[in-house]
Amino acid sequence: MSVMGINDVRLPDDRPLTVDDLEPLPDDGNRYELMYGVLEVSPAPTGDHADALHRLEFLLEFHRPPELKVMRGQGVNLHGDPTRHRVPDTTVIRREDYEPRYQILPAVLAVEVASPGTALRDRNVKRAEYEEFGIENYWIVVPDRDHPSITAYELQPDGRYIEAAHVVGDEVFTTRRPFPFSLVPRRLVTEGEWRPAFPPR
């Protein structure tokens, strides 16, 4: 039995691609995004990237209020434009805004777990795109074992991001947006026990 790959799918080459053109692409774990109709492919997260993402989502899920929803790999059409399709590693959205196929409204939080190949794009291109679209909070997680870090941006009333926090290693990241939450970056990459001792709910 053969497994279909991206090279087996013929995509239109006479116009900008849209999110509908991504439908026949294989469900292979890769991230398929569009920047003004140009396809960008990122490999599926593995190793420390995948581990840090899993741990962060676990903690977000535990602490989120009931009116919010944590979503992994949920695509979003920026400004409703089908040629501008991004897939953050994780988003937190309002339940009332949920769309089963892809989102069309800004999330309250988007998270990118940076890898060496995506770090510049996450800090520059995506930050500008998410800011312009109106995503309220944007976190960049660097799962480096020696220098793990979290950088948090918060959208201001003038529509611009400010860097609200940058914490490294054993420093404590504490925020009230989009809900009260604290995290030590090293817990996302440590070989030891990383789960906090949660009190009974």
Give per-residue pLDDT as tens, 48-72: 889 999 999 999 999 999 999 999 9
> How many Å apart are CA 20 and CA 22, to the nearest integer?
5
> Kindly report the CA angle at 112 between 97 and 100, in degrees rounded to 5?
30
Q: Name the burial class of residue 135, with classes exposed (0-12), middle (13-18) and buried (19+) by CB atoms within 10 angstroms of its CB.
A: buried
Place of tokens 């989120």: 64
pLDDT of residue 91: 97
Whether 8 has a pLDDT exceeding 90, the answer reads no
Q: What is the DSSP string of 29-82?
A: S-EEEEETTEEEEEPPP-HHHHHHHHHHHHHHHHHS-TTEEEEES--EEGGG-T
pTM value surpassing 0.85: yes
Q: pLDDT tens, 75-96?
A: 999 998 999 999 999 999 999 9
Q: Is pLDDT above 90 for 24? A: no
Cα dihedral 163/119/139/144 (nearest 10): -110
In this predicted structure, the answer to whether residue 121 has a pLDDT above a threshold of 60 is yes
Q: Which CATH class is domain 45-188?
A: alpha beta
Q: Where exactly are the structural domains of the chain?
A: 45-188
